[in-house]
Copies of this chain bind each other. A is one copy, B any other.
């Protein structure tokens, strides 16, 4: 038993990533390790016990730095959000910048598998999330959204939707494209039962391949249009 453990400890000093060999535990290090695990093994490869193992300690030790799993999730999310690129004045008009910002946010979530689902499940009120919210609020104001009520609604809706897109894509990666299953189900059903869906069949097949960066931008632009419309109407 202790032999195996010793071997691991030795191995670690040599090859485990580029983390310093034993900096003592820290909140930072725990979040780092958790993000590494998420990136390499997805949500199912992440657990407090595995984070602890990676840090050569027991799971109980982490509770000095992190209240529970949910707090760890929130910290991970906030760290990911820290990588969002916030465009400056050179980034075009407010709308281009807002679109860019939201795409960047979604990309940050998508870069680690599982982050999308995490974002839609977890709430962070860390500095990075506030920074992002602040940037969106500023851009919306430039876009003529002035009432606080409308601004809040728009911020919430935009961020929620961007997160949802990431979560959806996440689910696809794990389970394979569900459109396949849907096509199958359609073929199995009588044609007269779902006439509109049947007609959509071929387009559906093409869609499977194409759903890339364009779809992401397009979906977000759609939402921005909706925000503008609601603002005009109010």
Binding site for B on A (CB under 8 A): 70, 117, 120-123, 125-127, 130-131, 133-134, 137-138, 141, 148-149, 151-153, 156-157, 160-161, 163-165, 167-168, 171, 175, 178, 181-182, 184-186, 189, 193-197, 199-200, 202-204, 206-207, 215, 218-219, 221-227, 229-230
Contacts and interface: CB of A to CB of B under 8 A. Distances in A.
A223 to B, nearest CB: 5
Contact of A196 (B137, B203, B204): B137
A218 to B, nearest CB: 7
Nearest to A147: B203
B134 A196 contact: yes
A224 B200 CA distance: 20
A140 B207 CA distance: 18
A42 to B, nearest CB: 13
Given A122-B171, A197-B133, A203-B152, A222 B229 contact: yes
B120 A204 contact: no
B125 A178 contact: yes
A202 B163 contact: no
28 contacts: A120-B164, A120-B168, A123-B181, A130-B182, A130-B189, A130-B194, A133-B194, A133-B197, A134-B193, A134-B194, A134-B195, A134-B197, A138-B196, A148-B203, A151-B196, A151-B203, A153-B218, A153-B219, A153-B222, A157-B222, A160-B161, A160-B165, A163-B164, A221-B226, A225-B229, A226-B226, A226-B227, A229-B229
Nearest to A163: B164
B230 A130 contact: no
Prevailing SS type, chain A contact patch: helix
A152 B127 CA distance: 37
Contacts of A121: 117, 167, 171
A202 B182 CA distance: 46
